[in-house]
Amino acid sequence: MYNYVMVESTNLIPINNIQDRILDFDCLLDTTKSLYVKNCNGLTIIINNKINKITIDKSNNITILVSKLVSGLEISNSNNIIISMIDMIPSIDMFKSIVYLNGPIEMYKDVQITSDKSWLYNIN
């Protein structure tokens, strides 16, 4: 289990400079919390309940297994990000990143995807 420090005023949970770990946030997050992942490599992030938002910046080889997001997912300056959606992600915003959607493409038909200088692939 990852011991995190929450910034109380913003409900933001920063995850910085973590390498090769599995972070399971089962029952620790709710719709008021957001994750901010920066300068990480080789992480698997598991979120089984509904949270507000996930932001990934300057990170590589990240796998995200997420149940449901209220706001969405932002990815910038990152490579080899694998997203496995269980229920719903309203939007995915990408900037200078390589992102893989895991699962049937039909699962992502209602997801609003915006991209700038990025590559998006579907893996099944």
Q: Which domains does the chain have, with CATH numbers?
A: 12-123 (2.160.20.70)
CA 63 vs. chain centroid, Å, equals 8
The per-residue pLDDT for 10 is 67
- Candidates 121, 111, 112; CA nearest to 79 is 121
Distance CA 103, CA 15 (A): 26
The pLDDT of 94-102, averaged and rounded, is 93
Residue 50 pLDDT > 70, yes or no?
A: yes
- Residue 108: φ, ψ to 5°: -105, 10
Average predicted confidence (pLDDT) for the chain: 86
Q: Is there a contact between 43 and 60 (Cβ–Cβ < 8 Å)? A: no
Confidence of residue 66 (pLDDT cuts 50, 70, 90): confident
DSSP 33: -
Which range has the worst mean pLDDT, 2-11, 24-33, 52-61, 65-74? 2-11
Confidence of residue 27 (pLDDT cuts 50, 70, 90): low
Distance CA 20, CA 60 (A): 11
CB count in 10 Å sphere of residue 99: 23
Identify the residue with better confidence: 8 or 37: 37
The per-residue pLDDT for 38 is 97
